Structure 1
Amino acid sequence: MSSVTSNANRLSVVPALPQAEPPSLAERVLAALEGMLIQGRLVAGGRERSLIYAGDGAQALCGWPTTVLTRGDGLFFSGLVLPEDRLPLMAHVTEAAEAAGRYRVDYRITHRNGSVRWVSEQGAGRRGDDGVFYTEAQIKDITDEVRARQQLADAELRYRSIFDSGSEGLFQTSMDGLYLAANPALATIYGYSSPAQLIAELRNVGRQLYVDPERRSEFTTRMQADGEVRDFVSAVRRRDGSIVWISESAHSVCDLDGNFLYYEGSVRDVTAQREAESRLRHQATRDQLTGLFNRSSFAERFEESARRAERRGEGLVIAFIDLDNFKVINDSLGHLYGDKLLLAVSHRLSQCLRATDVLARYGGDEFVLMLEAGALDGKLEAVLARVQESIARPILLGEQEVTVTSSIGIAHFPDDARDLPHLLQQADAAMYAAKAAGRARVHRFTPEIGANATARLELEMALRSALERKELSLVYQPRLGRNGELRALEALLRWQSTEFGAISPVRFIPIAEETGLIVPITDFVIEAVASQLDVWRQAGLPCPRIAINCSVQLFRDGQFAERLFGILDRHDLPHRCIELEITETQLMADPKHMISALGSLKARGLTVAVDDFGTGYSSLAYLKSLPIDVIKIDKSFVDGLGPDTEDFLFSRAIISLGHSLGLEVVAEGVETGLQYTLLRELGCDEFQGYRFDRPLVASAIAGKLREMGSSLRWPQACEVV
């Protein structure tokens, strides 16, 4: 049977191990030091250092153990120092050793892994009892520090480069407005030769810099509230006193404890941008030609004035101003002179208005004036008379002196209407009523005028479609010689509207002139006349010359002559069969141009006549130069003709003048035997009027031509049209 031995019987006594001595203070300090501790001996006259001791930090510092660094001649560590750093290192060490002083030097070593490390050596030198120089030092790795310092230096260099060469102004200022730093761009913006001059001279930003001193207060208020400002736009004075616009963006800079240090920010010169914006605003609110308010600006000011007038219990006057015969001048002299005329009128209007008046160009030759009734003090008529007088003064356009009058229509707020569109419509209608009454007048809107304006608009719309509807036709009135022979026919336009019935030319011709419809209408007349002459010729009837009334607008149309001669050539008609009539008033609007235009037409065989002669104040010098063949005494002189009357004297003078210039003289509107007799005795060459025949349709004219036969004497009796 086996026996079991207790573990207790196997216990033996183990002797106690000795306790380790705690490290000394010196050992603890050394252990806490960063890097490697060394002791070295200077050899080779101080050119080399032999390590006789290296601490435990060697492996971490350079990758080599202590035993390697201190073996042999102890020069292994010196070999790790980069060649270009060895001499500076040994110079510092030797100097400290000889002076028994302290030293610190930074240099580079090559780590065992091949990387280059920056180290800092700090220690002291001494002469030993053996007369040899020794050093004891601490060497630690500062690679990360050096790299951080280099990055900081690079950043500072980049910042300084940006600061000094940036196109934007950069600054630092104290809270009370003293410049602490500024770059050259900021000095340039503010007109200083250098940042130093800016800092030295610009001592009070609020008073010296900002045009509005309150801007600095607003700047600091925003900074204190938000810690920054963005795009803070202000007008500032440059050093020479000139004013520029700047946009500032800035923020507060504080230390780590939150204490304010300075404001730092940037400045952009936005003068050009502000000027461009100003031009855009001006273009948006002003008429591009005259600089007056445009429609939208006028409407805004009307709304403001209307609210103010209502609060005061007062009214406003809207005056619509239109230049009489501007279209004639514009078409005759050209748009360049037309624009100069509008500029001159705009300037005159602006000069004669009061501070409370608002003037706008509404388009073309139309101006709108707003007057505060309360400021008029019952002098509306006097104010508008002054406006008309200022416009009517002669204006020199190139070498041509012209005079224009104006027709004005007025409407009252709130009596006539409360909104601007209706007020303008009413004033426009009153203006047309002033023109219809003889021009150069002022008319106030009335319900009757409103009805007439509506009718006129309806008439214009109907006229626009009259050609398509074939509502226009021609009649012809004969012009007879001294012995009753047929000398020519005048083509007269008639309009039989499907909506309004027969419309007098007195009503629709002015509308055609104003709307430009006169051009296609005249083309229609020329085509109709040419077709009719062709019909009469094919019927074997004599084909007299036919006079066609022409607007000056046609002579500004570069294609008019070609269209005219193209029609005649297509019908194989001689050019001499057409006579063009143009009124003296239109002719004298641009005599130089008309001399050229009419001369080219006359050179191709056309006859040219001046209608309504005696009403346009022709210059004799121009009259002598005009390429014309016929002058027609205006009907107004013939109406009052009698022995020893003023009209008799005028008629005699016109006939004498015409004959002296080698022109045929025609009297139009001859209705009585006495008129005919007196004109014949004065030597008038041709006569036209109801005394001889009324305007006739083409078929009636054909009958007269057949009855006339070869005698050429016009039969007196015929149907009336």
Structure 2
Amino acid sequence: MNYFVDNSKINGLDDVLKKFGVMLEKHCAEPSSASSKKVQLEFDRLQKNLTKSYSNVLLSQTVANELFESLPIGFVVLDSEIRIVEANATARDLLLLKVSSGEELISQIFTRYIINGMSEFLERIYSSSTTPIELLLSGRNHNGIFAKVFQNYYSLNGQNFILLSIIPVQREHDLMQSLLTYKMVFEHAQEGIMVVNHQFKIQDVNPAFSKITGYRKEEVLGLNPSILSSHQQSPEFYQKMYQALDRDGYWQGVLNNRTKSGEVYPEDLQISTVYTQGTRSRKPAYYVAVFRNILGLVEKEEFLQKQADTDVLTGLLNRKGFNRIYDDMFQSAQREGEELTLIFIDLDNFKTLNDRHGHNYGDELLRNFSKRLRNGLKQRDHIARIGGDEFTIILYQEIPDSALTRIIYKLQEDLKRPYQLFDITFACSASIGIAKYPNDAVDTNSLLQAADFAMYQAKKAGKNQVQYYDHSLYSQEIEREQSIEFIRDAINKNEFENFFQPQHDMETGKLVGFEALMRWRKQADKILLPGDFLHLIADRQEIIGLSIRLIKHLVVEIGLWMAHGFRWPVSINLNAYQLAHPKIRKQLEDIAQNHSQVVPLLKIEVTETALFEKDEVIENNLHIFRELGYELQLDDFGTGYSSIYSLRKFTFQAIKIDRSFVAEIHQGQESSILLDGIIQLLQTLKLNIICEGVESEEQVNYLLERGCDVAQGFLYGQAMDKKALWSYMKKHL
């Protein structure tokens, strides 16, 4: 069926023509006449023209149908019941209309294809409205198709039809939705938005802009954004901003801007460039600035930063805070050409307080000490507690030496005043080290090392001392550390061993024992004495591991002697650091438990300076060693500060008179009187005496005359290694 041409009228005219032809034939059956022939000719002409016109009409109908089918606009013909009776290819593709095998559309209600807008559509149809409507239709897009639909109404062959013209407007709809979304975001965003044209004139702002800056929209349109400037950023700052926009089309950063009322606030700002379209070379068309006032965030961050940077106990900067401030100030000093003074402070006797009274008293001292530091310095000076009892002070800008001396002296005087800690009064001083940039160091780590080293030197010099950084001393310390590293390497390579120096009865010449002495066999023909290296590790962890190893070797050696019938005692030297160390005590306890037969032959020599330490741990360990069965000997007697009480207190089995007294025999009456007095004192206390450094028969005779029995020195033999030792022992069986 054709829904665009009325064929009924053409068909009716054809019927009339046929009837007229029948009548004409009847008339022509009568005798011919001129009039009949004329009528016949006219009829033939009329029939020929009618046939031609009819053919033209049919041709036009075909053209119309082809045009209808191929138009890019979707056309749908609805009957009076809104059923689809015809649709062109475009409409069928848009709506996915199905056709039967005979290529006729399956009659379907058009409204089934309407997703959104159905009521408005039906209202338009029933009122014969020709006003176009926008509908969301189902079809090839699973999300639907936005289309504008035009309605036309017409009658054909006695029936009413509706011609729908469907034009997809998805792009236009998406664009409109984007515009609406942009407008919604623009209007409701919490961040301020400012659109600036390529001439740097403000073209648009959103409500949040007005809320943040205090400027109404109409006040700023057409103005330069510089009206917001706080003038706290340098021209170089803005130059870098513009360079980034030219290069990258984007800039982000934090700056200070000013509100209409003059209040300066920190602003997080992002600027994006919008370029012109359709030109060969892109040019900026607009700049879109999005910003927010971050004052609250900055204040919160500053609060959290302060908490993270603050030592809870003292309220000073902690190590993290010190590092941050120190790095900033050092960079500033470098940039501005200023001087920076770094002071390291370490409390004296802090460990003693903690050990005797507990950590509560130590914490109270730290709090009071910190208060005195703050009160003694200016507010701009930075003070930090970077360790248990370690503090630092950063002084910015150049300070004359005389002024710095006064500052340090005042600090010393304030800090050493007695502290009232709960129920006790405690005296405490501080060791102070000072280093300066750029005089002493030119980078952060070097300056830290310099100040720390100066403090370490002050600590070594005694309590309540101040030490400025000395590069020559630092170089010596570096050499010392290198030497210690060599020693550490030698320990790992087992280059240290026991040597043995014999002890003899001066009256009979009989061998009575040995002293084990440490030696470093650095090379096959090069052996270093303790004086060359021992002082470098005397109070370090290295001496502990090395001592334990040599003691173990000595236990094995004594065991071998005993297996061969030799039972000479051997003494070992332990300094204060070794005597106090728990690993040394543990080693001697293990020997007493696992090698008890060796204990009577292993004697412990205690240096006189170890007793001067008056360390409770040392005293306790010495008592433990005595209870385990070890005999104690006091070494280098006369060079330290031993008291008669100490000689009695620790029950020494023997006292070794230092070689310096023996060397001065017959060197003068005063030296002899002193040596004689020492010998008489020890004899009165009924203590055995061993004389060190005996090198001549003259010295032997002098000592024998005064009742001394045992001697040790070059006269009898130098210290020897294990190989030489066996030969020596066999010779003195």
- What is the TM-score of this pair, normalised by structure 2? 0.46
- What is the TM-score of this pair, normalised by structure 1? 0.47
Highest relative contact order (Cα 8 Å, sep 6+), 1 or 2?
1
Higher-Rg structure is 2
